[in-house]
Amino acid sequence: MRFRLTSSAIDTDSARRELLDLGAGGYVSFEGWVRNYNEGQEVIRLEYEAFQELAAKEGERIVAEALQRFPLKHALCIHRIGALDLTDMAVWVGVSSVHRGEAFDACRFIIDEVKHRVPIWKKEHYRSGDSGWVNCERCAAAPIHHQRG
């Protein structure tokens, strides 16, 4: 499984070790961190929810595509689900390759595709007491605001 979902903290040291290769000269990793502002709202915590069966399949396809498109040694992506706090790591992508150019390109490809294609959703909770499903509330026909309490 080169795409994994986990409900506990992502163990990047162990994930990185899976990418070690005597023939690899370059290693690029990406981490998505929970940040305190999004679109002008102060975020205090997040929840990630996944359609797990399909997320695992689609994520695996993305990593397989990266391995086909770029001459890589190894690639791996791990996405966290559940409740996260500020600065927690939501997603990790790691890629190793002979030369660095393709490791950068492939790492970016994987995170871009994961964000667009994998059925995972993020609910932000704001300092104001509001909360919202990212990409769903603003584009919905009748935006909903969930008041605290």
Partner 1 sequence: MQLKIQYYALMREQAGRSEELLETSAATPAALYGELAARYGFTLMPEQLKVAVNSEFTDWSRRLSAGDAVVFIPPVAGG
> 83-112 mask for its own copies (x: CB under 8 A)?
---xx--------x-x-x--xx--xx--x-
Report the DSSP beta bridge partners of residue 124.
46, 132
Task: Compare residues 48 and 126 and give the one whose CB is closer to partner 1.
Answer: 48
Kind and range of the H or E element at 30? strand 26-33
Stretch near partner 1 under the rule CB under 8 A, chosen from 7-15, 53-61, 68-76, 101-109: 53-61
Residue type, 147: Q
- The residue whose two tokens read 């961190």 is 33
78, 18 contact by CB (below 8 A): no
Task: Compare residues 61 and 100 and give the one whose CB is closer to its own copies.
Answer: 100
Instruction: Specify the 3-state DSSP secondary structure of 20.
Output: coil
Instruction: Specify the 3-state DSSP secondary structure of 56.
Output: helix
Residue type, 103: A
Q: Which of 85, 142, 148, 149 binds partner 1 (CB under 8 A)?
A: 142
> 78-97 mask for partner 1 (x: CB under 8 A)?
-x----------xx------
Would you tell me which residues interact with partner 1 (CB under 8 A)?
32, 48-51, 53-55, 57-58, 79, 90-91, 111, 114-123, 133-137, 139-144, 146
